[in-house]
Structure 1
Amino acid sequence: MGRLAGKVALITGAARGQGAAAARRFVAEGARVVLCDVDDEAGKALADELGAHYQHLDVSEEDQWATAVAAAAEVHGPVTVLVNNAGVLHFALLHETTLADYERVIRVNQVGTFLGMRTVVPGMIEAGTGSIVNVSSVEGLAAAPLLTAYTASKFAIRGMTKVAALELATKGVRVNSVHPGVVETGLLPTALGGQPVDLSYVAKRVPMRRVGQPPEIAELVLFLASDDSSYCTGAEFVADGGVTAGHSLSSFG
């Protein structure tokens, strides 16, 4: 029997990258999965491949959350696992960050996570069980230049996770955050206008001397979604190749 047998999982940003990797692992472990994204073509193709259900979802829109969770319940049953994975990235110096760009990142990353939690929590409380996995970042633990909006949103996700965990601790619902370092997904090229990105320079600054891969993050998300992590809530789980173990003066090898 799979580690997620009997669970209904909704994954946002599931068409590609980390979300797609998580969807593959969840299906392999017996979950009934609803893939959500704004990239309908890629999302539907992956859902068809996996035998899962696809639902269009702009995570920044409150009414679309209600529709997505209701659709999941109709197709598979009440959502018992939520992976808030959808996110966007924007590079700019603080004084060159427009309000529109700042709000766009906050709407997707921070508001999207808030709306997702708020929408699924009543059903999880009623069922007496649930696991929410909020994908933050190492930028939710420490800052990086050019990422004012992104860092603000990822710190907020970390904080919201802890509040929700405390409120839901006696309700059978666990809430944890995942903090990936640099992972080879489409997020960075998209933020840079679609141009290819050579990550070899970044890899040299990672203690493990490589960037992460989506399946590696998916394994951590799977652990938190499963009952294997039954005593974990309100915690931060880091997968960054050792980046946050040191500081800017750290060097080895």
Structure 2
Amino acid sequence: MELPFKDKVAIVTGGSFGIGRATAILFARRGAKVAVVDWIEDRETVDSITSAGGEAIFIKCDVSKDADVSSMVEQTINKFGRLDYAFNNAGIEGESAPTHEVTEENFDKVIGINLKGVWLCMKYQIPQMLKQGKGAIVNCSSIAGVIGFPGIPIYTASKHAVIGITKTAALEYATQGIRVNAVCPGVIQTPMIDRFIEKNNTTREAMASGEPIGRFGEPEEIAEAAIWLCSDASSFTTGHALVVDGGWVAR
């Protein structure tokens, strides 16, 4: 079996669950060594990789904290000797509220993880990629990064901003061997969507019917998109926000 990422190294933030877990596992299946990063210590992702013969480590990290992110990237390089790919996926939905009722605490927490976290990760990932002369970064935005969603204004703002910082970084490093793209998932069956729906079957059915394709997406479908954006198959793609949403924003 061909292993296109053999001897390569990937960082996946938010790697303990959902899209992050699926992407970390797929990186490993394609031959990469993976640093699984999350603030929740859940070893299932690493165990899934190592039990299948892959190589992975878990690093606990709060991506909103500079020292944590700096240490996380340093630990990855110390362990594996290089860094080729990064999927900056860690994110939270925050509290649902109309714009005028959003609390400052909620604003700071969502922006801190969803936007500052992406920036901090790139801040420490890019220097290593510059040393190597090549690298690929994928930042996780959302369909809420390209259209508005009432009731989650700060999440929506943070995901729009992820696309903006992605495009800027893509231009800054385009001639230095580093590609930077974003993936924008639609409604994906993950713990985050379970929290948002709160086991309300009526809401679940309404959201599923809102998908033109007629169902929620699976984490593995976003993983495939993120992996493609990291691969040489997308070598002419940078600064792009790839929407993977079952047709939601096409309506």
TM-score, normalised relative to structure 1 = 0.93
What SS is found at the alignment partner of 1:36?
strand
1:210 aligns with 2:191: no
State the match for 2:97 in structure 1: 92
1:81-122, Cα deviation, whole Å (9 max, x unpaired): 111100000211111110110111000000000000011101
After TM superposition, the structure 1 = structure 2 runs for residues 78-227 of structure 1, keeping only pairs within 5 Å, are 78-90=82-94, 91-191=96-196, 195-198=198-201, 199-227=204-232
State the match for 2:30 in structure 1: 29
What SS is found at the alignment partner of 1:175?
strand
What SS is found at the alignment partner of 2:76?
helix
Q: Give unpaired runs (5+ residues) of structure 2.
A: 51-55
Distance in 2 between residues matched to 1:72 and 1:196, nearest whole Å: 37
- Deviation of 1:48 (Å): 2.5
Distance in 2 between residues matched to 1:231 and 1:116, nearest whole Å: 23
Distance in 2 between residues matched to 1:105 and 1:189, nearest whole Å: 18
What SS is found at the alignment partner of 1:120?
helix
Q: Which amino acid aligns with 1:112?
A: G
- Deviation of 1:228 (Å): 1.2
- Deviation of 1:80 (Å): 1.3
Q: Could you say what the CA RMSD is over the residues aligned between the two structures, in angstroms?
A: 1.1
After TM superposition, the structure 1 = structure 2 runs for residues 209-248 of structure 1, keeping only pairs within 5 Å, are 209-246=214-251
Q: Which amino acid aligns with 2:219?
A: P
Distance in 2 between residues matched to 1:24 and 1:48, nearest whole Å: 10
Does the 8 Å contact 2:25/2:48 carry over to 1? no
For these two proteins, the number of residue pairs brought into alignment is 242
Q: Runs of at least 4 residues of structure 1 off by over 4 A?
A: none
Q: Give unpaired runs (5+ residues) of structure 1.
A: 247-253
What SS is found at the alignment partner of 1:131?
strand
Distance in 2 between residues matched to 1:73 and 1:151, nearest whole Å: 33
